Amino acid sequence: MQLMQAHGFVDGVRGPVKSAAVREREARLEKVVRKLVAAGAQVNRVAPDCRTAYGVAQEWGLDTMMALLRELGADPQLQASCRAGRR
């Protein structure tokens, strides 16, 4: 429970819910990501180690960011496909 609170989660009626501070940070981050994409950032860029923005968001459990990246055209399977091709 302490770990969840440290990461901005609190107990909700139906399980953990995000605190107001976490929701506020996500809203600011969403604006930044939208501006970056509008300026030409590639949502499907693959790093040399096969990591993608979507894959990192998935690893960190950032559901809101994952949804935003999908909305902006990110391929949810790209990181896994890249890694599978390197085996």
pLDDT for the residue numbered 63: 87
pLDDT for the residue numbered 3: 46
pLDDT for the residue numbered 16: 56
- Inform me whether the pLDDT recorded for 5 exceeds 50: no
Mind listing the pLDDT tens digit for each residue in 6-53? 445 444 434 456 678 877 888 898 999 999 999 999 999 999 999 999
* pTM of the full structure: 0.73
pLDDT for the residue numbered 66: 93
Residues 6+ apart with CB under 8 A from 74: 43, 44, 52, 53, 54
Question: In whole angstroms, how far apart are CA 42 and each of 7, 55, 83?
Answer: 28, 14, 19
- Inform me whether the pLDDT recorded for 60 exceeds 80: yes
pLDDT for the residue numbered 61: 83
